[in-house]
Amino acid sequence: MELKRVVVTGLGAVTPLGNTIPDFWNSITNGVSGAGPITRFDASLFKTQFACEVKGFDPSLYFDRKESRKLDIYSQYAIAVAKEAIENSGLDLESVDKDEVGVIFAAGIGGITTFEQEVGYYYQNLENGPKFNPFFIPKMISDIAAGQISIMYGFRGPNYSTASACASSTNAIIDAFTHIRMGKANVILAGGAEMALTPGGVGGFNALTALSTRNDSPETASRPFSKSRDGFVMGDGAGCLVLEELEHALARGANILCEVVGGGMSADAYHLTATHPEGLGARLVMQRALKDAGMSPEAIDYINVHGTSTPVGDISEAKAIKEVFGEHAYKLNISSTKSMTGHLLGAAGAVEAIISVLSVVNDIVPPTINFTEGDEDPDIDYNLNFTFNKAQKRIVNAALSNTFGFGGHNASLIVKKYVQ
């Protein structure tokens, strides 16, 4: 069976750095931090009182008030980015065969805002007995964003959600890539959305001691590959990519942004929340992505790393890169854009895949911000080019994006310039 080629023809983003692709890309390439005090709830008694929040999101731009009340915030984000991605792709919704258009959309947690509101009300009013909103379950479940998008547009192709914690939306994109190249769909909207900036979300991650507690300086708290890093910074948002079979895209005269050429998956099989200290799963997943793409390590110009700014994770990922790429590791660019966006959990892979696509399109590598001289970690090799503090222009023929999730889930995606 001859595998079909898969290209990216549309993008959509809602992020702490902008709610459209142009705004987001401008902030990312200029090294802007999306961090600030938490405004979604009173976090004054929490160990962490800051996050990378989406700012100025207006649901009325996408649906009426009655409809928005049926949607958790994460689903609102998902619909918003799907709309932008479809518009960006130029897909003709009147003529496209909707039986051959799918939606694979991830969430690491799902509707935790809805869950906390509904269950909280019940326990505060026990004397009144159970009184739940009929939309409680449909708003909360993590597959519902994919369902909502398909219902809105009438897309009847493959439709489901993926869940692998912080690797969720990379898995969604890899699944979409696989379905299309095997001829099971012509077009798939793939991505992820998350909004877990709630008391339970922040408090739960605080209990794991996973979050930075640098409350005096939120903007500099996410500092991947710095010795003084003390945990990740939570963020919310969503990203969507329109993946399309090449001949289908050419037939309609689509603007092809890049080609998706490989995806890898692996497990650490080591610990619930910590990455393997030697980066075994990270090494394996990058090797598998390269093998799937039929590419040598020397073909990669940029790695958008998982790089969460945690004490163990940053070290193990840097080790894995050196093992996989050898001497070429010192010639490519590496950056952690979580230094700017924070960690978007189930949406991280989609947003970072978008960054990788735009790096290939524009030949720019976004920076890893917040590094200062004198803050070097003796366990990290600084001969590697981490693209500290300022974006770098270079030819980016191919980019690899890493995402690793709680449970030991690892996923890597490779995109490259489209050549006929």
Residue written as token pair 């009426």: 64
Q: Is the pLDDT of residue 276 over 90?
A: no
Number of neighbouring beta carbons within 10 Å of residue 418: 18
Amino acid letter, 44:
S
pLDDT band at 314 (very low <50, low <70, confident <90, very high): very high
d(CA 413, CA 239): 15
Domain residue ranges of the chain, discontinuous segments joined by +? 6-416
d(CA 148, CA 138): 10
Q: Is the pLDDT of residue 277 over 90?
A: no
Amino acid letter, 98:
K
Phi-psi domain of 20 (left: phi exceeds 0; alpha: psi -120 through 50; beta: other):
beta
Overall pTM surpassing 0.85 (yes/no): yes
For domain 6-416, the CATH superfamily is: Thiolase/Chalcone synthase (3.40.47.10)
Beta carbons of 55 and 33 less than 8 angstroms apart? no
Q: Is the pLDDT of residue 273 over 90?
A: no
Beta carbons of 343 and 404 less than 8 angstroms apart? no
E-strand spans in 94-245? 101-106, 159-160, 187-194, 237-245
For the segment 11-28, the average pLDDT, to the nearest whole number, is: 98
pLDDT band at 280 (very low <50, low <70, confident <90, very high): very high
d(CA 356, CA 255): 17
DSSP alpha helix (H) spans, 166-233? 168-181, 199-207
Instruction: Give tens-digit pLDDT for 155-190.
Output: 999 999 999 999 999 999 999 999 999 999 999 999
Phi-psi domain of 51 (left: phi exceeds 0; alpha: psi -120 through 50; beta: other):
beta
CA nearest neighbour of 340 among 307, 379, 300: 307
| Residues assigned a catalytic role | 166, 306, 343
Beta carbons of 227 and 141 less than 8 angstroms apart? no
d(CA 218, CA 212): 9
Beta carbons of 149 and 189 less than 8 angstroms apart? yes
Determine the pLDDT at residue 84.
98
Instruction: Give tens-digit pLDDT for 125-151.
Output: 999 999 999 999 999 999 999 999 999
Torsion over CA: 79, 204, 55, 114 (sign): positive
Instruction: Give tens-digit pLDDT for 33-52.
Output: 999 999 999 999 999 999 99
The H-or-E segment that residue 364 falls in is: strand 364-365
What's phi and psi for 95, nearest 5 deg? -105, -20
What's phi and psi for 196, nearest 5 deg? -110, 20
pLDDT band at 56 (very low <50, low <70, confident <90, very high): very high
Beta carbons of 366 and 29 less than 8 angstroms apart? yes
From residue 205, give the alpha-carbon distance in Å to each of 173, 212, 234: 26, 10, 9
For the segment 284-288, the average pLDDT, to the nearest whole number, is: 98
